[in-house]
């Protein structure tokens, strides 16, 4: 038997889109099982931070501040974010899994209030790049990175900044809808608040749930059954529930990794329409393999490519319409016209 065949193989986790070592996969399964089975309870609240990293357990004073902040923020009907749209700027980002370099000095500006689409063949590093944008890459055992990610000019990797701040300001929606199926629709939406340590009164929670579901384009369909389990919704509705959960904490940026790839055309259209409305409130970055979708939803587009055996990088970036009608690089032309990938 060769030593290679005795090595435990990482398994692909289709909820987070991360390849996990067997021990980590087992640990995550042990954490998720009670989450998915349990009714909403304090116990579940305690488990959530273990899945998503250490959530702050703020001192009473901080909590009061947070309450004041929330009260002020939700006092009037208002958009998801604070009104000021944020830009995200990746500078010379490189990434490794162990010794394997998968991204090479990727720089990309994702302008405020716009949808930026990341396109490119499988394995070129799009998901890795996206996970670096909200500090999820560092969850992967053996993963490392270099470079900077600036949110409104401040590096989210700065040592003085908390991991949970990055996750709160930069939300993520995954390929496979992952609501907590046994939790009610209502509790699914507020789960994000608990994750980031935000306390809110009952009235504030009601308002946040309604606002988030309206923004995610789901309110009308679920307003009369908020107490029913999230798992009872259709796939498309579940994905919009996950979008609502992300929006509940008022993110500045929403990252979406192939959010429609598991959905039917009708649900896809609804999500795309939702994105069109959301982009006035939150900056969006979406990974998609669907060229028509990239053209429909995005204003900026980045084409990623990893040539044989080399790390992924951006071949071309710019205005989406221009990229599809007059690509500057021959490889972009071939990819957007379906010649490979």
What residue ranges bind ligand ATP (CB under 6 A)? 10, 18-19, 97, 100, 102, 120, 122-128, 140
Name the helix (H) or strand (E) containing 27. helix 22-37
Phi, psi of 103 (to 5 degrees): -135, 140
Q: Which does 157 bind (CB under 5 to 8 A by kind): Mg ion, ligand ATP, none?
A: none
Residue placing its CB nearer to Mg ion in the complex, 124 or 216: 124
The least distance separating Mg ion from the CB of residue 287, rounded to whole angstroms, comes to 6
The least distance separating ligand ATP from the CB of residue 27, rounded to whole angstroms, comes to 15
Read off the tokens for 75: 């006092």
The least distance separating Mg ion from the CB of residue 82, rounded to whole angstroms, comes to 30
The least distance separating ligand ATP from the CB of residue 94, rounded to whole angstroms, comes to 12
Q: Which does 18 bind (CB under 5 to 8 A by kind): ligand ATP, Mg ion, none?
A: ligand ATP
Residue placing its CB nearer to ligand ATP in the complex, 200 or 256: 256
Length of the chain: 341
Q: Which does 140 bind (CB under 5 to 8 A by kind): ligand ATP, Mg ion, none?
A: ligand ATP
DSSP calls for 261-293: TTS-HHHHHHHHHHHHHHTTTSEEEEE-S-HHH
Q: CA distances (Å), 202 to each of 67, 149, 196, 249, 251, in order?
A: 12, 36, 17, 15, 21
Residue number with the smallest Cβ distance to Mg ion: 127
Q: In whole angstroms, give the CA distance from residue 245 to residue 242.
A: 5
Residue placing its CB nearer to ligand ATP in the complex, 28 or 80: 28
- Binding-residue pattern over the window 73 to 112 for Mg ion, x denoting contact by CB under 5 A: ----------------------------------------
How far is C-alpha 38 from the chain's CA centre? 24
Residue placing its CB nearer to Mg ion in the complex, 127 or 274: 127
The least distance separating ligand ATP from the CB of residue 200, rounded to whole angstroms, comes to 35
Q: How many CB atoms lie within 10 A of CB 106?
A: 23
The least distance separating ligand ATP from the CB of residue 85, rounded to whole angstroms, comes to 26
The least distance separating Mg ion from the CB of residue 127, rounded to whole angstroms, comes to 3
DSSP calls for 303-334: EEE--TTS-BEEEEEEEHHHHHHS-SSHHHHH
Q: Which does 97 bind (CB under 5 to 8 A by kind): Mg ion, ligand ATP, none?
A: ligand ATP
DSSP letter assigned to residue 124: S
Residue placing its CB nearer to Mg ion in the complex, 133 or 248: 133
Q: Which does 34 bind (CB under 5 to 8 A by kind): Mg ion, ligand ATP, none?
A: none
The least distance separating ligand ATP from the CB of residue 76, rounded to whole angstroms, comes to 40
Residue placing its CB nearer to ligand ATP in the complex, 124 or 156: 124
Residue placing its CB nearer to Mg ion in the complex, 127 or 320: 127
Read off the tokens for 15: 């909820």
Reduce the secondary structure of 159-182 to three states and give it as a string. Answer: CCCCHHHHHHHEEEECCCCCCCCC
Q: In whole angstroms, give the CA distance from residue 73 to residue 70.
A: 5
Q: In whole angstroms, give the CA distance from residue 31 to residue 25.
A: 10
Range 111-140, binding Mg ion (CB under 5 A): 127
DSSP three-state, residue 131: helix
Residue placing its CB nearer to ligand ATP in the complex, 18 or 28: 18
How far is C-alpha 258 from the chain's CA centre? 10
Q: Which does 102 bind (CB under 5 to 8 A by kind): Mg ion, ligand ATP, none?
A: ligand ATP
What is the binding site for Mg ion (CB under 5 A)?
127
């Amino acid at each position: 038997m060769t030593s290679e065949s005795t090595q435990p193989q990482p398994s692909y986790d289709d909820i987070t889109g991360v390849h996990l070592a067997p021990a980590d996969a087992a640990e995550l399964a042990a954490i998720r099982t009670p989450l998915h089975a349990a009714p909403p309870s304090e116990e579940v609240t305690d488990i959530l931070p273990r899945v998503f990293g250490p959530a702050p357990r703020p001192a009473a004073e901080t909590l009061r501040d947070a309450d004041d902040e929330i009260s002020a923020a939700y006092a009037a009907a208002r958009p998801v974010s604070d009104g000021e749209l944020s830009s995200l700027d990746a500078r010379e980002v490189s990434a490794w899994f162990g010794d394997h370099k998968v991204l090479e000095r990727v720089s990309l500006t994702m302008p405020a209030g716009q949808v930026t689409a990341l396109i490119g063949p499988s394995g070129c590093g799009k998901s890795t790049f996206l996970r670096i944008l909200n500090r999820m890459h560092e969850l992967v055992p053996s993963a490392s990175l270099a470079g900077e990610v600036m949110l409104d000019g401040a590096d989210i990797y700065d040592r003085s900044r908390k991991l949970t701040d990055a996750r709160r300001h930069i939300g993520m929606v995954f390929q496979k809808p992952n609501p907590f199926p046994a939790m009610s629709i209502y509790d699914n939406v507020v789960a994000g608040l608990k994750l980031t340590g935000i306390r809110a009164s009952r009235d504030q929670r009601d308002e946040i749930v309604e606002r988030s579901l309206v923004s995610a384009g789901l309110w009308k369909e679920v307003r009369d059954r908020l107490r029913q389990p999230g798992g009872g919704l259709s796939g498309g509705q579940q994905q919009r529930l996950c979008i609502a959960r992300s929006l509940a904490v008022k993110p500045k940026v929403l990252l979406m990794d192939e959010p429609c790839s598991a959905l039917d055309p009708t649900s896809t259209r609804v999500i795309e329409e939702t994105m069109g409305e959301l982009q006035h409130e939150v900056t969006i970055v979406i990974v998609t393999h669907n060229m028509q979708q990239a053209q429909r939803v995005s204003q900026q587009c980045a084409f990623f490519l990893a040539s044989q055996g080399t790390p992924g990088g951006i071949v071309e970036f710019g205005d989406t319409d221009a990229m599809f009608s007059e690509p500057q690089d021959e490889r972009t032309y071939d990819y957007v016209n379906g010649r490979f990938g």
